[in-house]
Each structure stands twice: as structure tokens, then as C-alpha cells.
Amino acid sequence: MADIEIYTKEWCPYCARAKVLLRSKGLEYREIDVTAGGEAHLRPPGPRRLREGC
């Protein structure tokens, strides 16, 4: 399983660019789509970084 988790929304351009960057670096990641709630409730509490507006 990948150590990198990325929380995305379908329409978010920052999310799309982040995935392109990770793929270009050959890094594996787990994508969690939170467009309609997704698996966000399964995320453990703690520090997070979210881009404003996404």
C-alpha cells in the first residue's frame, strides 16, 4: 500500500496537477475522492494540508 494519500475532488485543478506530479515522479499514491463525501470520515484526526477553495 502506498504511504501517500491524496484527498481529491473531481473538479479540482490543484488535485489533478498533484496527481500528474506524483505520477511523473513514479510515486504510488492512494486517491480518496471526497467530491460527494467519499471516505473522508475514515481519515484519522491529525495534521492535514488542504488547498483553500477545494
User: Where residue 28 sits, what CATH number does that domain have?
Assistant: 3.40.30.10
Q: Please check whether residue 30 lies inside any domain of the structure.
A: yes
Q: Please check whether residue 13 lies inside any domain of the structure.
A: yes
The pLDDT tens digits along the chain (54 residues) read 568 989 899 889 999 999 999 999 999 999 988 887 755 555 655 566 656 555
Q: Please check whether residue 48 lies inside any domain of the structure.
A: no
Q: Which residues of 30-47 are buried (b: 16+ CB within 10 A; e: fewer)?
A: ebeebeeeeeeeeeeeee
Integer Cα distance of 39 and 21 in angstroms: 23
Number of structural domains found in the chain: 1
The pLDDT assigned to 43 comes to: 60
Q: What is the domain range of residue 38?
A: 4-42
